[in-house]
Amino acid sequence: MINVTALDHLVLTVADPRRTAEFYEALLGMELHRFGENRLALHFGQQKINLHRAGHEFEPKARSPLPGSADLCFLVEGTARDSAAKLIEAGVTIEDGPVPRTGATGPIMSLYLRDPDGNLIELAHRS
């Protein structure tokens, strides 16, 4: 058996990588890095999200990569109330929350929103 220890990165297929990067940088404080042949990645903590432009993905790739097909949950600092206030101030629509959920390590309080491609983004606050 192979034992997984952590998630290094994931790939989001997006319509417009620059627009996506701006959203995640401005709203969630991720840092944009360029690597390889003008590839883009969003870094946070010890993880990253590689951005692939739809129709121009890097090989190998998922069988059916599509913008808006991801459902991601990020652990964030502070309280759900504080995050909700920041989202409202930024003009971002909160789809649901704050609502209690069960995270990987225990209870969380979550807010749901969508990124520019319609991916569902959960902002989780540890209880």
Find, among 43, 59, 48, the residue nearest to 8 by Cα: 48
pLDDT in tens, 36-54: 988 999 999 999 999 999 9
Phi, psi of 99 (to 5 degrees): -135, 145
Could you tell me the CA-to-CA distances from 102 to 76, 77, 105 in Å, in that order? 15, 17, 8
pLDDT at 127: 81
pTM above 0.85, yes or no: yes
Mean pLDDT computed over every residue of the chain? 96
Q: Are 111 and 80 in contact (CB under 8 A)?
A: yes
What is d(CA 27, CA 115) in angstroms, rounded to the nearest whole number? Answer: 10
Given 77, 89, 95, 122, the catalytic residue: 122
Q: Are 105 and 78 in contact (CB under 8 A)?
A: no
Q: Which domains does the chain have, with CATH numbers?
A: 9-126 (3.10.180.10)
Identify whether 25 is a catalytic site residue: no
Q: Which amino acid is at 30?
A: M
